[in-house]
Structure 1
Amino acid sequence: MILSTTDTIQGKEIHTYLGLVSATIYTSSFKTKGLSFKDQFNSEKTYENYEKGLEAAKEEAFIRLRENAKAMQANAIVGISMDVETMGQVNLTTISVMGTAVALK
Protein backbone atom coordinates (compact mmCIF):
# COMPACT_ATOMS: atom_id res chain seq x y z
CA MET A 1 0.00 0.00 0.00
CA ILE A 2 1.32 3.43 -0.97
CA LEU A 3 1.05 6.16 1.67
CA SER A 4 1.46 9.83 0.78
CA THR A 5 1.07 13.17 2.48
CA THR A 6 0.44 14.77 -0.92
CA ASP A 7 -2.82 14.57 -2.85
CA THR A 8 -1.21 12.76 -5.78
CA ILE A 9 1.31 9.97 -6.28
CA GLN A 10 3.97 10.68 -8.86
CA GLY A 11 3.71 8.35 -11.85
CA LYS A 12 0.37 6.91 -10.71
CA GLU A 13 -3.17 7.80 -11.66
CA ILE A 14 -5.99 7.72 -9.14
CA HIS A 15 -8.88 5.69 -10.51
CA THR A 16 -11.39 6.03 -7.65
CA TYR A 17 -11.61 8.07 -4.46
CA LEU A 18 -13.02 5.67 -1.88
CA GLY A 19 -13.45 8.04 1.05
CA LEU A 20 -11.85 9.21 4.24
CA VAL A 21 -9.93 6.71 6.33
CA SER A 22 -8.56 7.20 9.84
CA ALA A 23 -7.07 5.47 12.85
CA THR A 24 -6.62 6.64 16.43
CA ILE A 25 -4.36 5.23 19.12
CA TYR A 26 -4.39 6.12 22.80
CA THR A 27 -1.20 5.55 24.79
CA SER A 28 -0.11 6.30 28.32
CA SER A 29 2.04 9.41 28.64
CA PHE A 30 4.06 7.95 31.49
CA LYS A 31 5.16 4.45 30.57
CA THR A 32 7.64 3.06 33.02
CA LYS A 33 7.55 -0.50 31.73
CA GLY A 34 11.09 -1.75 31.23
CA LEU A 35 12.63 0.94 33.43
CA SER A 36 14.30 0.09 36.71
CA PHE A 37 13.07 1.89 39.80
CA LYS A 38 16.22 4.05 39.72
CA ASP A 39 15.76 4.89 36.01
CA GLN A 40 12.19 6.07 36.66
CA PHE A 41 13.78 9.10 38.35
CA ASN A 42 16.29 9.68 35.52
CA SER A 43 14.67 12.20 33.17
CA GLU A 44 16.88 11.19 30.22
CA LYS A 45 15.87 7.52 30.54
CA THR A 46 12.23 8.46 31.10
CA TYR A 47 12.11 10.66 27.98
CA GLU A 48 13.90 8.01 25.93
CA ASN A 49 11.35 5.43 27.05
CA TYR A 50 8.49 7.86 26.32
CA GLU A 51 9.88 8.52 22.83
CA LYS A 52 10.05 4.78 22.11
CA GLY A 53 6.46 4.39 23.31
CA LEU A 54 5.26 7.23 21.05
CA GLU A 55 7.10 5.77 18.06
CA ALA A 56 5.49 2.37 18.66
CA ALA A 57 2.05 3.98 19.00
CA LYS A 58 2.58 5.93 15.76
CA GLU A 59 3.51 2.74 13.93
CA GLU A 60 0.40 1.02 15.34
CA ALA A 61 -1.74 3.92 14.11
CA PHE A 62 -0.33 3.54 10.57
CA ILE A 63 -0.89 -0.24 10.67
CA ARG A 64 -4.54 0.36 11.58
CA LEU A 65 -4.84 3.06 8.91
CA ARG A 66 -3.61 0.58 6.26
CA GLU A 67 -6.00 -2.12 7.53
CA ASN A 68 -8.95 0.29 7.41
CA ALA A 69 -8.03 1.35 3.86
CA LYS A 70 -7.65 -2.28 2.72
CA ALA A 71 -11.16 -2.95 4.05
CA MET A 72 -12.33 -0.22 1.65
CA GLN A 73 -10.52 -1.98 -1.27
CA ALA A 74 -7.90 0.80 -1.45
CA ASN A 75 -4.35 0.30 -2.61
CA ALA A 76 -3.12 3.75 -1.58
CA ILE A 77 -3.85 6.58 0.84
CA VAL A 78 -3.24 10.21 -0.14
CA GLY A 79 -3.37 13.45 1.81
CA ILE A 80 -2.25 11.83 5.06
CA SER A 81 -2.02 14.00 8.14
CA MET A 82 -1.20 13.14 11.72
CA ASP A 83 -2.32 14.79 14.94
CA VAL A 84 -0.75 14.17 18.34
CA GLU A 85 -2.50 15.48 21.44
CA THR A 86 -1.63 15.10 25.09
CA MET A 87 -4.37 14.89 27.68
CA GLY A 88 -2.35 15.77 30.77
CA GLN A 89 -5.13 15.32 33.30
CA VAL A 90 -5.43 11.61 32.49
CA ASN A 91 -1.83 11.04 31.31
CA LEU A 92 -2.85 9.95 27.81
CA THR A 93 -1.48 10.80 24.41
CA THR A 94 -3.73 10.46 21.37
CA ILE A 95 -2.27 9.83 17.93
CA SER A 96 -4.68 10.21 15.01
CA VAL A 97 -3.81 9.65 11.37
CA MET A 98 -6.18 10.30 8.50
CA GLY A 99 -6.22 10.51 4.75
CA THR A 100 -8.18 9.65 1.62
CA ALA A 101 -8.35 6.01 0.57
CA VAL A 102 -7.96 5.63 -3.20
CA ALA A 103 -7.72 2.96 -5.86
CA LEU A 104 -4.87 3.48 -8.31
CA LYS A 105 -4.95 2.43 -11.95
Structure 2
Amino acid sequence: MIVTTTNTIEGNPIQQYLGVISSETIIGANIFKDIFAGLRDIVGGRSGTYERVIQEAKQTALNELQQKAAAIGANAIVGVDLDFETVGGKGSMLMVVATGTAVKV
Protein backbone atom coordinates (compact mmCIF):
# COMPACT_ATOMS: atom_id res chain seq x y z
CA MET A 1 0.00 0.00 0.00
CA ILE A 2 1.25 3.46 -0.91
CA VAL A 3 1.25 5.83 2.08
CA THR A 4 2.24 9.44 1.48
CA THR A 5 1.98 12.87 3.07
CA THR A 6 1.37 14.42 -0.34
CA ASN A 7 -2.08 14.87 -1.87
CA THR A 8 -1.15 13.16 -5.12
CA ILE A 9 0.97 10.20 -6.13
CA GLU A 10 3.20 10.95 -9.09
CA GLY A 11 2.49 8.56 -11.95
CA ASN A 12 -0.56 7.08 -10.17
CA PRO A 13 -3.71 9.10 -10.76
CA ILE A 14 -6.35 8.77 -8.07
CA GLN A 15 -9.35 6.87 -9.42
CA GLN A 16 -11.62 7.02 -6.38
CA TYR A 17 -11.67 8.77 -3.02
CA LEU A 18 -12.97 6.47 -0.28
CA GLY A 19 -12.95 8.88 2.64
CA VAL A 20 -10.95 10.26 5.53
CA ILE A 21 -9.61 7.64 7.92
CA SER A 22 -7.81 7.93 11.23
CA SER A 23 -6.17 5.84 13.90
CA GLU A 24 -5.09 6.62 17.43
CA THR A 25 -2.43 5.01 19.55
CA ILE A 26 -1.72 5.73 23.20
CA ILE A 27 1.42 4.37 24.81
CA GLY A 28 2.27 4.84 28.46
CA ALA A 29 5.78 5.40 29.68
CA ASN A 30 6.68 3.37 32.72
CA ILE A 31 8.69 4.43 35.75
CA PHE A 32 11.91 2.74 34.58
CA LYS A 33 11.84 4.59 31.27
CA ASP A 34 11.20 7.83 33.17
CA ILE A 35 14.16 7.21 35.51
CA PHE A 36 16.58 6.46 32.67
CA ALA A 37 15.31 9.39 30.61
CA GLY A 38 15.74 11.63 33.67
CA LEU A 39 19.35 10.51 34.01
CA ARG A 40 19.89 11.24 30.34
CA ASP A 41 18.47 14.75 30.88
CA ILE A 42 21.02 15.34 33.67
CA VAL A 43 24.06 14.18 31.70
CA GLY A 44 22.80 15.44 28.34
CA GLY A 45 22.25 13.72 25.04
CA ARG A 46 19.34 12.02 23.37
CA SER A 47 16.96 9.67 25.12
CA GLY A 48 16.98 6.50 23.06
CA THR A 49 14.33 5.02 25.33
CA TYR A 50 11.77 7.72 24.55
CA GLU A 51 12.76 7.80 20.90
CA ARG A 52 11.92 4.09 20.65
CA VAL A 53 8.56 4.66 22.36
CA ILE A 54 7.72 7.45 19.90
CA GLN A 55 8.79 5.31 16.94
CA GLU A 56 6.69 2.38 18.19
CA ALA A 57 3.61 4.56 18.66
CA LYS A 58 4.04 6.12 15.21
CA GLN A 59 4.44 2.76 13.50
CA THR A 60 1.44 1.29 15.33
CA ALA A 61 -0.75 4.22 14.26
CA LEU A 62 0.40 3.95 10.62
CA ASN A 63 -0.13 0.17 10.57
CA GLU A 64 -3.66 0.59 11.90
CA LEU A 65 -4.32 3.33 9.33
CA GLN A 66 -3.28 0.96 6.54
CA GLN A 67 -5.51 -1.80 7.91
CA LYS A 68 -8.50 0.54 7.96
CA ALA A 69 -7.77 1.66 4.39
CA ALA A 70 -7.47 -1.92 3.16
CA ALA A 71 -10.74 -2.84 4.89
CA ILE A 72 -12.62 -0.32 2.73
CA GLY A 73 -10.88 -1.35 -0.49
CA ALA A 74 -8.17 1.32 -0.72
CA ASN A 75 -4.73 0.64 -2.12
CA ALA A 76 -3.22 3.97 -1.07
CA ILE A 77 -3.50 6.70 1.56
CA VAL A 78 -2.75 10.31 0.65
CA GLY A 79 -2.41 13.43 2.76
CA VAL A 80 -1.20 11.52 5.81
CA ASP A 81 -0.72 13.67 8.91
CA LEU A 82 0.75 12.57 12.23
CA ASP A 83 -0.01 14.44 15.45
CA PHE A 84 1.81 13.77 18.73
CA GLU A 85 0.41 14.78 22.13
CA THR A 86 1.05 13.91 25.74
CA VAL A 87 -1.99 12.90 27.77
CA GLY A 88 -2.71 11.65 31.27
CA GLY A 89 -1.48 12.88 34.61
CA LYS A 90 1.73 14.86 34.18
CA GLY A 91 1.88 13.86 30.51
CA SER A 92 2.56 10.24 31.41
CA MET A 93 1.26 8.87 28.11
CA LEU A 94 1.99 9.59 24.48
CA MET A 95 -0.84 9.75 21.95
CA VAL A 96 -0.23 9.55 18.22
CA VAL A 97 -3.07 10.30 15.81
CA ALA A 98 -2.63 9.41 12.14
CA THR A 99 -5.11 10.71 9.57
CA GLY A 100 -5.29 10.52 5.80
CA THR A 101 -7.54 9.98 2.81
CA ALA A 102 -8.07 6.42 1.62
CA VAL A 103 -8.00 6.20 -2.17
CA LYS A 104 -7.83 3.81 -5.10
CA VAL A 105 -5.09 4.50 -7.64
Shorter-chain TM band: 0.7 to 0.9
- Distance 1:41-1:85 versus aligned 2 partners, 3 A rule: closer
* 1:17 lines up with 2:14 in the alignment: no
Name the residue aligned to 1:42. 39
Name the residue aligned to 2:99. 98
Which consecutive residues of structure 1, in runs of 5 or more, have no partner in the other structure? none
* 1:75-94 superposed matches below 5 A: 75-87=75-87, 89=89, 91-94=92-95
Q: 2-side partners of 1:72 and 1:58: how far apart?
A: 22
For this pair of structures, how many residues does the alignment match? 101
Q: CA deviation at 1:50?
A: 1.1
Q: Does the CA-based 8 Å contact 2:14-2:103 persist in structure 1?
A: yes
* 1:60 lines up with 2:60 in the alignment: yes
Q: Segments of 4+ in structure 1 off by > 6 A?
A: none
Q: CA deviation at 1:32?
A: 2.8
CA RMSD of aligned residues (A): 2.4
Question: Letter of the aligned partner of 2:54 in structure 1?
Answer: L
Which consecutive residues of structure 2, in runs of 5 or more, have no partner in the other structure? none
The two structures have a TM-score, normalised by structure 1, of: 0.83
Relative to its length, the structure with more helix (as a share) is 2
Q: 1-side partners of 2:49 and 2:24: how far apart?
A: 21
